[in-house]
Amino acid sequence: MRVLEYGWDGLLLEVDDPVGWFLALREHLETDVDDIVPAAETVLLKGVRKLPALETVSPKTAIKTDRAVTVPVRWNGPDLFDGIVEAMRDTVFTVAFCGFAPGFAYLTGLPEAFHRPRLATPRRSVPAGSVAIAGPYAGVYPRESPGGWLLLGVTELVLFDLSKEDPALLTPGTTVRFTDA
Amino acid sequence: MLEVMKAVPLATIQDRGRPGHAHLGIPHAGALDPVSLDRANALAGNSSAAAGLELAPGRFVARFHVDGIYAVAGAVSVAPMSVRAGDTVEIGGSAAGMFSYLAVRGGVDVPAVLGSRSTDTLSGIGPAVLRRGSLLPLGTLFADRLVPPALEMPSGEIRVRVRPGPRASWFAQTLSGGYSVSTLNRIGARLTGPPLTRTVTRELPSEGLVAGAVQVPPDGQPIVFLADHPTTGGYPVIAVVHPEDLPLIAQCRPSTRVVFYGP
């Protein structure tokens, strides 16, 4: 782990397993920081009031968390290619982090053979519920938005609902499986 | 009830924002200039938790459907005024600054979303941007309290404190003087000035952002992130503006000069 100072009251942790650290730090630091934000290779601690004793914390395995979500998909997307539907069905994904839009989760676990670059020109509009991949990630667009990921299908599952106490269905550490709708 | 008769292009409801949800991709939002919102609230007899209106420059008119008290702080200042049902409040031009905060006694009482009544212009969470005809219920977040001092509106040049960001070492320069504000919205302020050049040129995987983060896109012209900033970003952050100086950036009219200095 490398710890970088981030401005006035932030710390950026460069770690091998950001979501594992997020899950562990959330238990240890809840009252000492304003927010803990996992990302691709880092965990940001915002508003640090007390320097965390990081040496007493070790990352948690995401797969052991009790949150698991199954996403039923109609595989009718314009960017399907050979073997990808089977790979999506066979992979146990983990939410590594959220970003881009509220409730948009970056899912890791897709075998490298199925990694594809994002579209050179993003689509102006991607429908809500679109199941998509780009780079090492899979994701589901929680609402209609522009987007450059490869579209594989659509789910009717509601991923983000502000009327619920926990508005995001896919939170960091959640285990995700895709099935046929 | 308060009825918007004439809105400005960026008229929103704001309070202290929606902290603690960045890990779900939900921005903080809240007043760009919380100092002025809090002053307006105190002048109107409201607690710090009350929501008020954040108004970009232009002519804004609203009508009271009930008796009430209002006050304005920020770019425009209005001492507490008592009004009767049917009276209108009009907010116009100012000599300096960008955003004016209209507080109405009791606070604007639209439904809170994730603990805040703030409009988030990046993600669309919270109440809609105000338009002519918007009807705003009023609440009961009263408090008699000391009125905090006014924030002096920037004119000409401001000096803001910065500390290094996590990727400061990726740049050939440190952030200092010579910049001016080109455009500004609730997400961030774009500056123009001496281009910042990278010594480390590899791509940065997205990482978390904070308000005040100074991000440098490939053109080398810095962006200072404000209340509605995205929760993560893929360009390196060279520095972070002190939280107390961030309202000053938000109140900069285009072409205001900005000098950054270290602690």
Cβ distance B24 to A103 less than 8 Å, yes or no, reads yes
Cβ distance A102 to B25 less than 8 Å, yes or no, reads yes
Please give the CATH architecture assigned to the domain spanning A2-56.
2-Layer Sandwich (3.30)
CB-defined contacts A:B, below 8 A: 107
Q: What is the pLDDT of residues B90-127, one digit of tens each?
A: 999 899 999 999 999 999 999 999 999 999 999 999 99
Of the listed ranges A53-62, A139-148, B243-252, the least confidently predicted one is A53-62
> Given pLDDT bands bounded at 50, 70 and 90, which one contains residue B140?
very high
Distance (Å) from the C-alpha of residue A72 to the closest C-alpha of chain B? 22
**Across the strands, what pairs with B241?**
B162
Torsion sign (Cα): B215, B226, A30, A140: negative
DSSP code, position A72 = E
- Please report the domains of chain B, with CATH numbers, ordered by start residue: 2-136 (no CATH), 157-261 (2.40.100.10)
* A8 vs B163: CA distance, rounded Å: 6
- Report ipTM for this prediction: 0.93
* B52 vs B46: CA distance, rounded Å: 10
Residues of B in contact with A108 (CB under 8 A): none
- Domain A63-180 falls in which CATH fold? Cyclophilin (2.40.100)
Q: Which of residues 94-123 of A touch B (CB under 8 A)?
A: 97-104
Q: What is the pLDDT of residues A45-77, one digit of tens each?
A: 999 988 888 888 888 875 555 688 999 999 999
Counting residues of chain B whose pLDDT is more than 70, the rounded percentage is 100
Q: Could you tell me if A25 and A57 are in contact, meaning their C-beta atoms sit under 8 angstroms apart?
A: yes
All structural domains of chain A with their residue ranges:
2-56, 63-180
What values do phi and psi take at A24, rounded to 5?
-75, -45
The minimal CB distance from A6 to the residues B123, B240, B243 is found for B240
Residues of A in contact with B242 (CB under 8 A): 8
The minimal CB distance from A46 to the residues B22, B164, B166 is found for B22
- Reported pTM: 0.94
Cβ distance B240 to A104 less than 8 Å, yes or no, reads no
Q: What is the pLDDT of residues B147-162, one digit of tens each?
A: 999 999 999 999 999 9
Residues of B in contact with A16 (CB under 8 A): none
